Amino acid sequence: MEQSQYNRLAKEVYDRVFAAFDDIDPDVAEADQALDNIKILFANGTQFILNRQSAVQQIWLATKKRGYHFNFDEKTSQWICDHTGSEFFALLTEEIRGQMGGEIQF
């Protein structure tokens, strides 16, 4: 994949993540961006970090449980975890639900 395509696709992910937190009370959870990272901070003090890894064209997600690496699958147009086979937004939804006890829509 060309670097410009990776940059566009990664930006789309970041935009969807930020848009989802517009409807969440910041006292429950909020998302902040610094450079290529998004930090999601929960009321219980837990943090998730979302990071673009341009050199390998992946998106990395660090949660309380573990770290995940996602590759873009051009056949399905989804970001897929290279260890679990999970789709990015499905996995992130599950992880967030576990932290805030509520729903989030991407």
Global pTM? Answer: 0.91
Q: Could you report the per-residue pLDDT of 56-100, keeping only the tens digit for each?
A: 999 999 998 899 999 999 999 999 999 999 999 999 999 999 998
pLDDT, tens only, 9-51: 999 999 999 999 998 999 999 999 988 899 999 999 999 999 9
Check residue 65 and give its pLDDT: 85
Please report the domains of the chain, with CATH numbers, ordered by start residue.
3-100 (3.30.920.10)
CA distance 71 to 27: 32
Task: Please report which helix (H) or strand (E) contains residue 78, including its range.
Answer: strand 78-81
Q: Would you place residue 101 in the very low, low, confident or very high pLDDT band (cuts 50, 70, 90)?
A: confident
